Amino acid sequence: MSLRYYLIYKPYQVLTQFGREGDKASLADHFNVPRDVYPVGRLDYDSEGLLILTNDKSLNHRLLNPRFAHEREYWVQVDGAVTPTALEQLQRGVRIAVDGKPYHTQGCQAFFFEEEPAVPPRNPPIRFRKEIPAPWIRLILKEGKNRQVRKMTAAVGFPTLRLIRYRIAGATLEGLEPGEMRELTGEEIYKLLAFRR
């Protein structure tokens, strides 16, 4: 079996799977890869950004096992003028619900974007309200619970409007637009992720 590796930019409102589910778009509508290649991990239907597709079970294990705790960077547009206090709370960790049980998130890195990041337009765009700001923040986490980023920003009073996963370890979206894909060699992906083969 030849091992294959792809970085993709999952568009908004696309399921992180190749199978059909009702009338929702799936990865199969945007990406043509061998049948044994699957996404590592997931991104919600209403989130966008970086996914790794592969048939390398060893890489899959390294990326999904919490023991390896690699960084994931999210660019998050929030509803309202997010405060330094809210960022500090995010950095220390906040209480959210995971599978119906209370969970305290691990500490993370949280930053303001001084200038709006250069991101592709979203279709449809977020709801624009002239009187309420919608700034961007960067969150760098080493864990990935279900809908964690959205739950975290809501917990500090600033719901997520748009969520883009920009980076997984050293692999980024740079040079990719929504619906685009880049194939890498095993050597390239392992080097980007700083994993030993």
In this structure, which amino acid lies at residue 16? Answer: T
Distance in angstroms (rounded) separating the CA atoms of residues 188 and 191: 5
21: DSSP letter: B
Respond yes or no: is residue 99 known to be catalytic.
Answer: no
Q: Is 141 exposed, middle or buried (0-12, 13-18, 19+ CB in 10 A)?
A: buried
Distance CA 189, CA 197 (A): 10
Of these residues, 44, 46, 79, 99, which one is catalytic? 44
Q: What is the CA radius of gyration of the chain?
A: 17
Catalytic residues: 44
